[in-house]
Structure 1
């Protein structure tokens, strides 16, 4: 088998990660209606997913460069499939519906965390021209988006077809994707990891101001992307009053399509576009999208804000990876693992903070209540408040990109 087969398996690996990150939020309304799981607990499931991925990233940083890529890649797919199967059974077999769901989330999140650490450095190490590295990283990450599109559209349509009572069929069907790719990763050729004596140490990375700027960018990128992605389905239905099928297709599905388009376009023509200015523009556009989604009285305008945010955040995560890889080419899998820790920390804290602020705004008598009263009326979920205050995340992207640009000018570092 050829490196092309390896690259394709990596593409599918990001589809698997899209499944484990996006399937459960599409079922939040089912969990809420059928099992009385409250909104703040659903937000904690998102937090648990990305917190588990974060812990997995930290552990993987210490071992992947020493044991190689194959074993942890196969394990990642096995855990993803197992977790999805547990998700189907979770509300029935656990001590409580929330506890059963939490166990399933932890299992597949370990698989997702391993994929985040492993897939990008594998593709980065495959033979390709240096000037095309950033574009290929963006193309790789576009498959996360196309996987998200498939999950949102497929799950929404299947759920409408089979009915909420048969929802467990959906995670069982999606578990087939990691099971098939598991077999592929037992056969494809994989590059060697960077030896310890050649690899830039984590201590050196963490002391470098440029790497600190990229870590902040990753933290903000994870929060900006996942907050909108994770809450847009429920917000479209409860905050904007859209029907579930309409809301899912016009909100999170179109979000994923536009994110995929943005990454694919940069993957094809990215060598012509300076990376740091593109990241800055992306942060500004994402901030505008959050504001539009939160303050629009028109459901259609709100859905446009949710969906357009996908295009705005498209470049953030792969762009941060590319900045680090260009500046520290011998960082190895450990460097990608640390970056994934920052991204997953943002992916955990962002959706959780938005959910917590939304919940708090429904009972607050202080500033949150004033903000809520100033926004258009919704169903009382408080999600408008959560999304409006989440604008801080894309604004942090702008700050981090500006910091990296200043360091680039000062030290003449490659910026992509």
Structure 2
């Protein structure tokens, strides 16, 4: 067997982000099907989204003691195993239980726990791998989430078109292949030392007293809320609000969103030396605001599709960009900081789609009004970006 190198380690972390994209974005493609097959309403679907991110939030909160107990390798293995179990449960439990919605909840808890651990474990590993440009590496890592989103959307749309969405359970089982493969990779790849920091890590309460940390935390909250507020509802929005067919809605809506998000992260990853991250983020915030307004008010389906693509490109850099800014601005940027930022980010991922779903439900399932409320999140991000200073622990 070929000796594994740090290149294999980074690739395994990148594939882990593809798995996280599956965990977060596959089930929303089935929302309309779940409504028909299980008689689930918008509020119940909102519950699935909320539980997904609440469990990821809990995984983030427990990640530090779990990592210190099991180590990074075994935590990564546990994350992949939970993802596999979650998709198996999604395929079999709804037809085996008298209440399919409870079965969907159980499956959601399993795979979302895996997704939450994946992020907390991969970010510090990639940061600790020797490289010349941590901003570039982090952006490339996060771009794999976007390209995973693209792959999941394309493969699911083709499967539903050729084989039929009524056979979604078999596709759900096929998704288990990637986490099983990556599970094997994490058994053998070398891992850098990520617990022992160059500087003594801050204790939990010390980190929470840093004003700079809370600035980045609110930025991460807004980034997560902005990204998931639309992506979790985009397939349903394109079908029921814009009026597109399932195939066209998935390929043109979520796919354009994911492609543009991936391109933004990849461009910044390979071209970060040409444009500062703060300048890049400012441009993205303006574009994001424009996209939200267009999606909320446009009467044209094609303009809505353009807006969804613009939204994806604009929101793509906010999450990895916040990690990079926090790494610059906090001298003690070890596993605890990454874990807490991921926790706050997942809180945003929970609040964003929950807010849109609740507002849309209140206004007779009008997702245009729901999407308009997401203007709050780029506004918060802009205020925090203005308050942030790239000074150590200010």
Q: TM-score category by the smaller chain?
A: over 0.9
Q: What is the match of residue 53 of structure 2? A: 50
TM-score by length of 1: 0.91
Deviation of 1:194 after TM superposition, in Å, equals 2.4
1:246 paired to 2:248: yes
Within the candidate set 322, 325, 343, 2:324 is matched to: 322
Q: Distance in 1 between matches of 2:185 and 2:226?
A: 33
Which residues in structure 2 correspond to 1:384-395 (within 5 Å)?
384-395=368-379
Aligned position for 2:385:
401
Question: Which residue of 1 is the match for residue 113 of structure 2?
Answer: 110
| 2:87 corresponds to which of 71, 76, 84 | 84
Select 2:18's aligned residue among 11, 15, 19.
15
User: Where does residue 191 of structure 1 map in the other structure?
Assistant: 192
Alignment partner, residue 64 of structure 2: 61
* Residue deviations 1:179-218 (CA, integer Å, cap 9, x gap): 1100000000011232388212222222111111100000
- Any unmatched runs of 5+ in structure 1? 363-380
Q: Post-superposition shift, 1:62?
A: 3.0
**Residue equivalent to 2:266:** 264
Give the drift of 1:330.
Answer: 3.5
**SS of corresponding position for 2:273:** helix
Task: Indicate if the aligned counterparts of 1:88 and 1:171 stay in contact, CA closer than 8 A.
Answer: yes
Conserved? CA contact 2:330–2:392, under 8 Å: no
CA distance in 1, matches of 2:276, 2:44: 42
Q: Using the TM superposition, name which of 312-321 and 324-333 deviates more.
A: 324-333
Distance 2:331 2:274 in 1: 21
Aligned length, in residue pairs? 390
Contact 1:64 1:334 in 2 (8 A): no
Residue matched to 1:141: 142
Aligned to 1:349: 351
Equivalent residue, structure 1, for 2:210: 208
**Are 2:296 and 1:294 equivalent residues in the alignment?**
yes
SS at match of 1:68: helix
Q: 1:297 to 1:220 in 2, by over 3 A?
A: same
2:173 is aligned to: 172
Whether the 8 Å contact between 2:232 and 2:353 is mirrored in structure 1 is yes
**Aligned equivalents of 1:138, 1:204: Cα separation in 2:** 28
Q: Deviations over 1:10-63 (max 9, x none)?
A: 110000000010110001111011111111111110110000000110001234
Maintained 8 Å contact 2:260/2:309: yes
Per-residue CA distance 1:377-403 (angstroms, 9 max, x = gap): xxxx31111001111112222112111
Aligned: 1:93 with 2:77? no
Task: Assess if the C-alpha contact under 8 Å between 1:134 and 1:271 holds in 2.
Answer: no
User: Which residue matches 1:39?
Assistant: 42
Distance 1:48 1:202 in 2: 26
Q: CA deviation at 1:115?
A: 0.5
| Runs of 4+ in structure 1 over 3 Å off | 412-415
CA shift, 1:65, in A, is 4.3
Q: 1:65 touches 1:193 (CA, 8 Å); kept in 2?
A: no
Q: Please list every run of 5 or more consecutive structure 2 residues that lacks an aligned counterpart in the other structure.
A: none
- Deviation, 1:329, is 4.5
Give distance in 1, aligned partners of 2:68 and 2:136. 24
> How far, CA to CA, are the matches of 2:19 and 2:34 in structure 1?
22
What TM-score comes out, normalization by structure 2 length? 0.96
- Structure 1 residue matching 2:81: 3-state secondary structure: helix
Distance of aligned partners of 1:66 and 1:195 in 2 relative to their CA distance in 1, 3 Å threshold: farther
Query: Secondary structure, in 3 states, of the residue corresponding to 1:168?
Result: helix
